[in-house]
Amino acid sequence: MEEIQIITPEELKKKLEEGEKLELVDVREYEEVEQGMIPGAKHIRMGEIPANLDYFDKDKEYIFICRSSARSGNVCYYLQEQGFKVRNMIGGMLAWPGEVK
């Protein structure tokens, strides 16, 4: 299995502050995202990822986010096997230093 690329919450926050256009996907459950998501992130629950493969574009890189980075890591492995460019935000929302909406 190929290693998953990661991004730290601090690196992600800096990229967003610099205005980079990033594809963020939050894979947490509904009750978790009610507590706040990174602005601009799309919410697709982990269990709904296989049914939403047509949302993803193989020419773009996606950054996946969950509470602690375990579920998003699993999603990254799955999508990488499908040929997508993925990155896992290490530490998840527990480590997110920025604002949420």
> What would the DSSP string read from start to end of 7-44?
E-HHHHHHHHHTT---EEEE-S-HHHHTT---TT-EE-
If 0-12 CB within 10 Å is exposed, 13-18 middle and 19+ buried, where does residue 66 land?
Answer: buried
76 is catalytic: no
Mean pLDDT of 42-63: 98
Nearest of 63, 87, 99, 79 to residue 5 by alpha carbon:
87
Residue 2: what pLDDT? 82
β pairing state of 85-89 and 23-26? unpaired
Which residue among 66, 79, 86, 89 is the active-site one? 66
Summarize pLDDT for 15-44 with one digit per residue, the tens.
999 999 999 999 999 999 999 999 999 999
Summarize pLDDT for 6-19 with one digit per residue, the tens.
999 999 999 999 99
Q: What is the pTM of this model?
A: 0.97
Phi/psi at 90 (nearest 5 deg)?
-70, 135
